[in-house]
Amino acid sequence: MSSAAVLTAAGSGTRLGRALPKALVELGGQPLVLRAAVGLARAGCIGAVVVTVPAAERDAFAALFPGGTVPGTDVPARVVAGGPTRQASVAAGLAALGDDVDVVLVHDAARCLTPPALVRAVEAAVRAGHRAVVPAVPVTDTVKRVGDAGPDGAAPVVATVPRLDLRAVQTPQGFDRALLDAAHAAGAHRAGDEAAAVSDDAGLVEALGERVWVVPGDERALKITTPRDLALAELLLAEDH
Ligand code: CTP
Ligand code: MG
């Protein structure tokens, strides 16, 4: 049996605001999706990567994986069309995994600076018997629940959420494959609708009533969402060199 990754790269990157899909945008001269795939492959515990991409851009993405492998490694890479939501894209990726895969890591191409050590930590936690594992970092902001904004735009504070036990969740998220398949099957009715779909796979597992476990995340696993995030990622990359 082996571990594989579903690398989600089928989003358009509306908030980044570029003409091309976010996963093709370059960071330090390398498209985000390629950098993310190399990070997964270099972890040493991932036997194959399935990349979910915008259907219309399939050829452009496939060209990044010549010979069907992650460049510089012998890890097979397969490019498949994603869906209208991240949840649907992950489901498409899961359907393309080989029969020998018993552990799946789901990872965002947008978290392309994730250190291989974090990939190994998540995979090892699943192998150790935790069937659903997410990396997470402490929340540093004070978080308040607010009500509806009035006509002047001001919204009332309803509650201040105690911060000590709050965590911001990252990827890769690791799962026993059978559990993740079951979670996606149970949540499939939501996959076509951006408002109803879940934004992370662990949410689907929680909805099944199964326990999800947290391991320490890493600030370098930040998700590139806005132009400011991309600028921050450039800084982190420069720090590493
Ligand atoms: N994703 C995907 N399929 C979708 C939507 C998103 O595979 N239908 C992927 C993105 O490519 C990204 C990850 O899920 O790697 C996290 O999504 P997000 O950061 O929201 O990326 P986008 O949806 O591309 O960005 P935006 O929401 O700003 O359009
Ligand atoms: Mg999105």
Q: What pLDDT score does 158 carry?
A: 97
Q: How far is the CA of 129 from the centre of ligand 2 (A)?
A: 31
Ramachandran angles phi, psi of 151, nearest 5°: -60, -30
Q: What pLDDT score does 140 carry?
A: 93
pLDDT > 80? residue 150:
yes
Q: Is ligand 1 within 6 A of the CB of residue 176? A: no
| Domain locations in the chain as residue ranges | 2-240
Q: What pLDDT score does 90 carry?
A: 98
pLDDT > 90? residue 100:
yes
Q: Is ligand 1 within 6 A of the CB of residue 119? A: no
Those residues whose C-beta lies under 8 Å from the C-beta of residue 241, and which sit 6 or more positions away, are none
Q: What pLDDT score does 190 carry?
A: 92
Q: Is ligand 1 within 6 A of the CB of residue 22? A: yes
Q: How far is the CA of 13 from the centre of ligand 2 (A)?
A: 7
pLDDT > 90? residue 240:
no
Contact 238, 217 (CB under 8 A): no
**165 CB burial (10 A radius; 0-12, 13-18, 19+):** exposed
Those residues whose C-beta lies under 8 Å from the C-beta of residue 38, and which sit 6 or more positions away, are 70, 71, 72, 73
Q: Is ligand 1 within 6 A of the CB of residue 89? A: yes
Q: Is ligand 1 within 6 A of the CB of residue 170? A: no
Contact 31, 23 (CB under 8 A): yes
Who surrounds ion ligand 2 at CB < 5 A? 11
Q: How far is the CA of 11 from the centre of ligand 2 (A)?
A: 6
**Proximal ligand: closest to the CA of 32:** 1
Give me the residue label for tokens 């998700």. Answer: 223
- The pLDDT-based confidence of 33 (bands split at 50, 70, 90) is very high
Percent of the chain with pLDDT over 70: 100
Question: Which contiguous run of DSSP H or E holds residue 135?
Answer: strand 132-138
Each residue of 160-195: pLDDT tens digit? Answer: 999 999 999 999 999 999 999 999 999 999 999 999
Domain 2-240 has CATH 3.40.50.150: no
Query: How far is it, in rounded angstroms, from Cα 17 to Cα 174?
Result: 30
Query: How far is it, in rounded angstroms, from Cα 26 to Cα 35?
Result: 9
Query: How far is it, in rounded angstroms, from Cα 67 to Cα 9?
Result: 19
| Residue 150 to residues 49, 144, 154, 158, Cα–Cα distance (Å) | 48, 17, 6, 14
Q: Is ligand 1 within 6 A of the CB of residue 9? A: yes
- The pLDDT-based confidence of 241 (bands split at 50, 70, 90) is confident
Nearest atom in ligand 1 to the alpha carbon of residue 16 is 28
* pTM > 0.80: yes or no: yes
Q: Is ligand 1 within 6 A of the CB of residue 173? A: no
Q: What pLDDT score does 231 carry?
A: 98
DSSP letter assigned to residue 69? B
**pLDDT averaged over every residue in the chain:** 97
Percent of the chain with pLDDT over 90: 97
